[in-house]
């Protein structure tokens, strides 16, 4: 499947909240987008379903982002890549809603992803953006504000068919 027009969803939930659905449009020609699609559908036998968000960085500040994608250990130390995600045409940005490949330095965590929740200008900017939140950014922001990000679960994920 060509990820150029693919939109996937992550359904997030945590105790004391109704959570919600996040729609992410994947960028074309990026192996990380293809890997993200595969992990949302579970086609390869592993999935983001029932994983946790495991970190929030710059909490409450410009450039805030959440991290998830550890389908192995679910605590941030695993989530090996299922395909080679190097190469492709990634963009550099740190705009709210950007979805980017978090662990580019090693295969042990190459399936981990980050979602920027607050715009940031200046300083370090990720250069591996492969998607953007097209709806549900408020759900990700609410998750980032939760007292314990590790209680936020991806309860379901998949492809959005009616785009």
28-59 pLDDT per residue, tens: 888 999 999 999 999 999 999 999 999 999 99
Structure-block tokens of residue 156: 């379901």
Bridge-based pairing of strands 51-57 and 65-68 is: antiparallel
Q: Is the pLDDT of residue 3 over 70?
A: no
Residue 90 has what pLDDT? 87
pLDDT of residue 2: 46
Q: Is 26 helix (H, G, I), strand (E, B) or coil?
A: strand
Please tell me the distance from the alpha carbon of residue 12 to that of residue 136, in angstroms, as a whole number: 10
> What's the pLDDT at 20?
97
Query: Strand 113-116 vs strand 153-159: parallel, antiparallel, or unpaired?
Result: unpaired
Residue entry with tokens 């559908």: 41
Contact indicator for 51, 151 with CB cutoff of 8 Å: no
pLDDT tens, position by position, 46-103 = 999 999 999 999 999 999 999 999 999 878 888 999 998 888 888 888 899 999 987 6
Between 39 and 4, where is the model more confident? 39
pLDDT of 117: 97
Contact present, 138 and 55 (Cβ < 8 Å)? no
Q: How many helices (H) and strands (E) does the chain have?
A: 2, 8
Confidence tier at 106 by pLDDT (50, 70, 90):
low
Residue 92 structure tokens:
């550099």
Q: Which of 136, 147, 151 is nearest to 20 (CA)?
A: 136
pLDDT score, position 162: 72
- This prediction has a pTM of 0.93
3-159 falls under which CATH superfamily? Cyclophilin-like (2.40.100.10)
Per DSSP (E only), the strands in 33-144 are 51-57, 65-68, 98-101, 113-116, 129-135
Q: Encode pLDDT of 107-163 as tens digits.
A: 788 899 999 999 988 777 777 899 999 999 999 999 999 999 999 999 999 999 875
The whole-angstrom separation of Cα 87 and Cα 65 is 24
């Amino acid at each position: 499947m060509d990820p150029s027009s693919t939109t996937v969803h992550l359904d997030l939930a945590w105790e004391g909240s109704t959570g919600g659905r996040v729609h992410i449009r994947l960028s074309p020609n990026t192996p990380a987008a293809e890997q993200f699609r595969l992990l949302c559908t579970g086609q390869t036998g592993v999935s983001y379903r029932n994983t946790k968000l495991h970190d929030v960085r710059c909490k409450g500040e410009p450039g805030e982002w959440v991290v998830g994608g550890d389908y192995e250990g679910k605590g941030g130390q695993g989530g090996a890549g299922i395909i080679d995600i190097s190469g492709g045409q990634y963009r550099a940005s740190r705009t709210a809603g950007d979805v980017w490949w978090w662990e580019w330095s090693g295969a042990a965590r190459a399936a981990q992803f980050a979602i920027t929740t607050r715009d940031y200008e200046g300083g370090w900017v990720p250069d591996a953006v492969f998607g953007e939140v097209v709806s549900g950014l408020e759900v990700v922001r609410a998750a980032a504000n939760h007292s314990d990000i590790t209680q936020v679960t991806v309860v379901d994920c998949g492809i959005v068919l009616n785009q």
